[in-house]
Amino acid sequence: MGAGNLTGVSQFLLLGLSEDPERQPLLFGLFLSMYLVTVLGNLLIILTISPDPHLHTPIYFFLANLSFVDICFISTTVPKMLVNIQAQNKDISYIGCLTQMYFFMVFDGMDDFLLTVMAYDGFVAICHPLHYMVIMNPHLCAFLVLMCGFVILSISLFHILLLRQLTFCIGTEIPHFFCELTQILKVACSDTLINDVCLYVATGLLFAFPLSGILFSYSQIVSSLMKMASTEGKYKAFSTCGSHLSVVSLFYGTGLGVYLTSSGALSSQRSSIASVMYTVVTPMLNTFIYSLRNKDVKGALGRLLS
């Protein structure tokens, strides 16, 4: 096969999770179900928070944004996979692949940043309760979300511009169900040293700084709770942070699994399975964690449905 820039060739081939024709209907039904549950569940959280004045607080403002980002996150990968399974077609255009990759990185990074901001909100609420509404004012909340968006949009665009400089072989096959940056770099026909260095630096920074912020926030929260005399106050604080801590553990746990399987010498099938946990299962479980573990959300949901 000859090498050529894909701006003239036009497409990649996504191999998906399985090439067995008998498994395709099962995969289609399974991923369609998970996609609908995720979208409807997160949409329900947004519709529950928006009209309820009791939930017009910073933490639920961030939760509504997180739910919106989760809808967009899963929508960057699953619909294309469902279309390919239904049409029995593995093609994805070059522009479509770059677009999918860009928005995947954007919404993945936004998830990361929003979880960090929510940890900071919990830190202020528990460690500085008297100054909470002064510190976490609406202007700061909006600024934090916009700043997170600006940073991750810029970093993702930088990766895409670097990727545009690479050349690929005609008929390139991607052993994945969506265009993931590390997989694309593996199948490039030109030198990817600069791309790899930038990827590892950006990944390290985007995980290290937010995770450090989360760990610092929770260390301060635990320290404050240890000094708290009221058992009821401790329980309320733990229940407030429990949902967020569960989501953080799920997000970083599955993210670490994807990183290890992508960078290690493991099979592409294991990497795809880890990616399914990260890109599909995690956004779906976030819905249940926040709706089932949070009394305020359950109460607002009951008022909405009634």
Highest mean pLDDT among 13-27, 80-94, 215-229: 80-94
CB 178 within 8 A of CB 31: no
pLDDT at 266: 52
Q: What is the pLDDT of residues 34-70, one digit of tens each?
A: 999 999 989 988 988 888 787 888 988 999 999 999 9
Section 122-137 average pLDDT: 89
Specify the pLDDT at position 170: 78
Q: Give the model's pLDDT for residue 263.
A: 60
pLDDT of residue 262: 65
Work out whether strand 168-169 and strand 3-4 pair parallel, antiparallel, or are unpaired. antiparallel
Query: In this predicted structure, what is the pLDDT of residue 100?
Result: 94
Contact present, 180 and 102 (Cβ < 8 Å): no
Instruction: Give the chain's radius of gyration (CA, Å).
Output: 21
> Comparing C-alpha atoms, which of 31, 180, 28 is closest to residue 97?
180
Q: Which residues of 47-84 are buried (b: 16+ CB within 10 A; e: fewer)?
A: ebbeebeebebbbbbbbbbbbbbbbbbbbbbbebbbeb
Segment 111-123, tens digit of pLDDT: 999 999 999 998 9
Contact call for residues 74 and 280 (beta carbons, < 8 A) = yes
Domain borders along the chain are 7-305
Note the pLDDT of residue 2. 43
Question: What pLDDT, on the 0 to 100 scale, is given for residue 167?
Answer: 86
| Residue 181 in this model has a pLDDT that exceeds 80 | yes
Residue 4, pLDDT > 60, answer: no
Q: What is the band of 172 on the pLDDT scale with cuts at 50, 70, 90?
A: confident
Q: What is the mean pLDDT of residues 258-287?
A: 75
pLDDT at 81 over 80: yes
Does residue 144 or residue 230 have the better pLDDT? 144
Q: How confident is the model at residue 32 (pLDDT cuts 50, 70, 90)?
A: very high
Q: At what angle do helices 58-75 and 78-87 cross, to 10 degrees?
A: 20
Task: For the chain, give the mean pLDDT.
Answer: 84
Percent of the chain whose predicted confidence (pLDDT) is above 90: 34
Q: Is the pLDDT of residue 103 over 60?
A: yes
What average pLDDT score do residues 274-296 get? 80
Percent of the chain exceeding pLDDT 70 equals 88
Higher-confidence residue of 196 and 258: namely 196
pLDDT at residue 261 tops 70: no
pLDDT above 60: residue 267: no
Give the least confident one: 32-36, 112-116, 187-191, 235-239.
235-239
**Regarding predicted confidence, which is higher, 220 or 226?**
220
Query: Strand, coil or helix: what is 81?
Result: helix
CATH architecture of 7-305: Up-down Bundle (1.20)
